[in-house]
Amino acid sequence: MTQTVDIDKLLNDLSQQLRSHLSDNDIKAPLMIGIHSGGVWVAERLHQLLQLKDPLGHLDISFYRDDFSRIGMNPQVKPSHLPFSVDDRHIILVDDVLYTGRTIRAALNEIFDYGRPASVSLAVLIDRGRRELPIEANFSGLKMDLARGENIKLQGPKPLSLLIANKACK
Amino acid sequence: MIRRNIQLNQQGRLRHFLTIEGLKRQTLVDILDTAESLSGVTDQTVKKVPLLRGKTIVNLFFEASTRTRTTFELAAKRLSADVLNLNIAASATKKGETLLDTLHNLQAMHCDMFVVRHADSGAAHFIANHVAPHVSVVNAGDGSHAHPTQAMLDMFTIRRVKGDFYPLKVAIVGDVMHSRVARSQIHALTTLGVTEVRVIGPKTLMPKGVEALGVHVYHDLDEGLKDVDVIIMLRLQNERMEGELLPSAHEYFQLYGLTQERLDKAKPDAIVMHPGPINRGVEIESSIADGPRSVILQQVTHGIAVRMAVMSTCLGSHADGGAA
């Protein structure tokens, strides 16, 4: 089942929230980092809408996951690329879907291996609830409560669309 | 008894890395891709990732090595594993017994991986056949048999510079007969599908029937280097020069040493590789080894990322599938 969600509208909402956050806190030059792969697609759009000057950073958190002993190595891992120093900078971390919070935990650990940022805030397109860690998004385009068996996935990069489906029972 | 490839586990994942022979192209490409991602770790302020935190890796070296052991150690540390370095003088007569005793003692200390270098061909296989199910073995060079991580870092270097394997003509020059590096390189290059692999060297240092591995044999260096994209020089072991197989180091250089004049026979953008350590003035002219076409030091750098990829792939094969 696919659900029609106006993704452009969500992205506009999200960029509005970010714009007021940046002006309220007098942050002139934030750095944006997208989490591979859906988070990068969302971050590319936000980066453009906010007309940020610094290049976009890419993070693949595979080497920081907490389930290596369960799933092993994924050879499709992409290199992380942060084309700037994160020291003393305000970071906007972007992902497509916030669920358990484990990906964000891994991303935070990885960012701190690059340096000590002034702050990190989290922007997500969809917050689907059911957290397993004390992690929340500062900004989200849409909140929805999906059961554990349900699956939501951002497809892209062009055009972006949301796929919501019930996982087939094993 | 059903014989499977001992390197693969029940799920077909790479558990041990003992030889390139018999591995699929995709397995090699996966290792190269993983290494490419892991090479970014050196860009971090904290030059390590927590992937192998809590794992213990033993460098089990029965034969002297500086570069290989150091890069294995650095690779393990950048993956946050704990590393134990053991240099053990091998007793040739009691080999089997010594190996097994050492092995059982280390297993009793709950080690997860053995990186093995040994002067005898087949030593790493022997160990892999006797370790506990949760343990992985990586071959860091066994006799004149195989040195698969060296071959993979060479492939990584070639791919970084040339991009694609398919159009390439690669020449391997020197003592092919005694070279575990050459054997692993030949398997890797043919598996990855280069256009042509040439082996060049004197008849006395060319293994009989090497053509069966899918290579073309040359005894004349000038002829063999014509139009190649990659030149891999092999190290001439000192003991070979003293033996009967070669007249002298000087004469060897006259016939098989890489000079500028000979390098000019290859393609204008050909690269020069060497697994090290170099015998300057024996297999390669100093100015070539240090020159613009040489990628010898890049090979050393790439060795770390490639060994990180091999270690994490093998230890990742023990994953339990996520029975949450």
Q: Does B8 touch chain A (CB under 8 A)?
A: no
d(CA B201, nearest CA chain A) in Å: 37
Is pLDDT larger for residue B1 or for residue B86?
Answer: B86
Between A60, A68, A113, which is nearest B45 by CB? Answer: A113
Residue B323 clears pLDDT 50, i.e. is over it: no
The fold of the A7-147 domain, in CATH, is Rossmann fold (3.40.50)
* Closest C-alpha to B68, from B137, B151, B175, B157: B151
Q: Does B39 touch chain A (CB under 8 A)?
A: yes
In sequence order, which residues have a C-beta less than 8 Å from that of residue B87 and are 6 or more positions away? B61, B64
Contact present, B59 and B138 (Cβ < 8 Å): no
Which one of B34, B42, B310 makes the best mutation probe of the A interface by having the most chain A beta carbons within 10 Å? Answer: B34
Residue A2 clears pLDDT 80, i.e. is over it: no
Between B31, B317, B321, which is nearest A70 by CB? Answer: B321
Alpha-helix residue ranges (DSSP H) falling in chain A = 7-24, 38-49, 68-71, 102-112
| The model scores a pTM over 0.95 | no
pLDDT band (50, 70, 90) for residue A105: very high
Contact present, B148 and B32 (Cβ < 8 Å): no
pLDDT number for residue A87: 97
- Show the tokens assigned to A99: 């669920």
CA atoms within 13 A on the CB side of A115: 15
Angle between helices B296-316 and B25-38 (to 10 degrees): 110
Q: Is A30 helix (H, G, I), strand (E, B) or coil?
A: coil
Give the model confidence (pLDDT) of A60-73 as tens digits: 999 999 999 899 98
- How confident is the model over B220-247, as a mean pLDDT? 87
pLDDT band (50, 70, 90) for residue B320: confident
Query: Hey, CA dihedral for B153, B212, B195, B293, is it positive or negative?
Result: positive
pLDDT number for residue B197: 98
Q: Which of A96-105, B50-59, B148-157, B248-257 has the lowest mean pLDDT?
A: B248-257
**Distance between alpha carbon B127 and the CA centroid of its chain, in Å?**
18
Residue B63 clears pLDDT 50, i.e. is over it: yes
Between A62, A72, A114, which is nearest B319 by CB? Answer: A72
Residues of B in contact with A77 (CB under 8 A): 33-34, 37
Percent of chain B with pLDDT over 70: 94
pLDDT number for residue B96: 61
Give the model confidence (pLDDT) of B252-268 as tens digits: 999 999 999 999 999 99
Which one of A36, A65, A69 makes the best mutation probe of the B interface by having the most chain B beta carbons within 10 Å? Answer: A69
Residue A75 clears pLDDT 90, i.e. is over it: no
pLDDT number for residue B245: 78
How far is the C-alpha of B237 from the C-alpha of B205, rounded, in Å?
11
- How confident is the model over A136-157, as a mean pLDDT? 93
Give the mean pLDDT of chain A: 92
Residue A119 clears pLDDT 50, i.e. is over it: yes
Residue A17 clears pLDDT 70, i.e. is over it: yes
How far is the C-alpha of B244 from the C-alpha of A116, rounded, in Å?
62
- Strand order of the sheet with strand B113-118? B82-87, B56-61, B113-118, B136-142
pLDDT number for residue B241: 66
Give all strands (DSSP E) within B88-135, no chain letters: 113-118
Query: Hey, CA dihedral for A121, A123, A127, A133, is it positive or negative?
Result: negative
How far is the C-alpha of B243 from the C-alpha of B240, rounded, in Å?
5
How far is the C-alpha of B71 from the C-alpha of B298, rounded, in Å?
13
Between A68, A81, A112, which is nearest B51 by CB? Answer: A68
Q: Is B258 helix (H, G, I), strand (E, B) or coil?
A: strand
Which one of B45, B79, B136, B315 makes the best mutation probe of the A interface by having the most chain A beta carbons within 10 Å? Answer: B45
- How confident is the model over B178-195, as a mean pLDDT? 97
pLDDT band (50, 70, 90) for residue A141: very high
Residue B83 clears pLDDT 80, i.e. is over it: yes
Domains of chain B: 25-145+301-316 (3.40.50.1370), 148-297 (3.40.50.1370)
Residue B250 clears pLDDT 90, i.e. is over it: no
Residues of chain A by 3-state class (helix, strand, coil), percent to 5: 30, 25, 45
CA atoms within 13 A on the CB side of A90: 12
- Would you say the ipTM is above 0.90? no
pLDDT band (50, 70, 90) for residue B301: very high
